[in-house]
Amino acid sequence: MSNAIEVEHLVIARGKRRVLHDLTCTVPSGSVTGLLGPSGSGKTTFMRAVVGVQKVVSGTVTVLGHPAGAKPLRSQVGYLTQAPSVYADLTVRENARYFAALYGLSAKEADAAVSDVGLSEAKGQLVGQLSGGQHARASLACAIVGRPRLLVLDEPTVGQDPVLRNELWQRFHAMAKAGSTLLVSSHVMDEAGRCDRLLLIREGLLIADATPAAVRERAGTDDLDTAFLRLVQAQETEQEKVA
Ligand SMILES: Nc1ncnc2c1ncn2[C@@H]1O[C@H](COP(=O)(O)OP(=O)(O)OP(=O)(O)O)[C@@H](O)[C@H]1O
């Protein structure tokens, strides 16, 4: 299969407001695809639709060949939310081993996930006593431990220092190389250049579904921040013409 995620004409409302407008895009299998956009643009809403926990108004979301949220996907899709999703009264290692056990995996595999996120030295610490960045990495360890075919990571590098961010991005690419697909959200454009493909959204509209190189070329600049702004301006001009 060439696409891990296929989204067609997706419309989502939260409360009474439409927050995603007719989104059509794909996420290629084995890629690290970045979902980039300003705060409130609809990234989390999009990810919730991919993991099948978001009510949709219309359109379809197909994940690994199944409708999003279908039962066969439960063991194949990992989701890291922005809210901490690990047990504060267990240690890092105990959390990872608990999630590993749910997937029928060993303690050794749990410990490897803890090491992958750079938490080996804090493995015996209670999660409730970790710093914010460590806490986020403990959640990440639990999301990756089952080696899901699709990993949906909502802002996984927020609160991490540059060295750790670099290590985490290397880890994401290693996981993609090993066959997983990763959909990673960020509102920091300097992370966009680290992705194989980009989905750029703004106010619930898709403004690009392309490689970073293609985005740079289309916008006529090497700087992805500037490229994003130019694409936004181009889209606004287009909308004014239609109105
Ligand atoms: N539970 C909710 N009820 C009503 N509106 C919501 C709800 N959750 C989010 N929204 C609105 O939906 C829009 C998209 O929110 P979403 O969380 O998807 O954005 P985001 O791009 O992930 O933002 P951030 O980068 O700040 O996490 C925002 O305008 C937000 O206010």
* pLDDT at site 75: 86
**Cα 204 to ligand 1 centroid, rounded to whole Å:** 10
Same domain, 160 and 182: yes
Does 99 score more than 90 pLDDT?
Answer: yes
Q: Which of 138, 120, 118 is nearest to 128 (CA)?
A: 138
Domain containing 178: what range? 3-76+150-242
What local confidence, expressed as pLDDT, does residue 1 receive?
52
Give the tokens for residue 54.
Answer: 């978001």
Count CB-CB contacts under 10 A for residue 59. 16
Same domain, 127 and 166: no
- 147, 167, 182 - which closes a domain: 147
Check which CATH number belongs to the domain holding 220 and give it.
Answer: 3.40.50.300
More confidently predicted of 189 and 207: 207
At 107, is the pLDDT very low, low, confident or very high (cuts 50, 70, 90)? very high
Average pLDDT, the chain: 92
Q: Closest by alpha carbon to 82, among 169, 199, 163, 185?
A: 185
Query: How far is ligand 1, taken at its centre, from the CA of residue 45, in Å?
Result: 7
CA of 35 to the centre of ligand 1 (A): 14
Same domain, 99 and 30: no
Q: Report the distance separating Cα 180 and Cα 52, nearest Å.
A: 19
CB 73 within 8 A of CB 63: yes
- Residue closest by Cα to atom 31 of ligand 1: 40
Decide which of 39 and 4 is more confident: 4
The per-residue pLDDT for 190 is: 81
How many structural domains comprise the chain?
2
pLDDT tops 80 at residue 140: yes
Atom of ligand 1 nearest to the CA of 47: 18
Q: Residue 161: is its pLDDT beyond 90? A: no
Q: Which atom of ligand 1 is nearest to the CA of 37?
A: 21
Separation of CA 232 from chain center: 22
Residues lining ligand 1, Cβ inside 6 A: 14-15, 19, 37, 39-45, 187
- What pLDDT is recorded for position 70? 96
Does the structure show a pLDDT above 90 at 84?
no
> Are 226 and 180 found together in one domain?
yes
Which residue among 16, 21, 35, 41 is best mutated to probe the pocket of ligand 1, counting the most ligand atoms within 8 A of its Cβ? 41
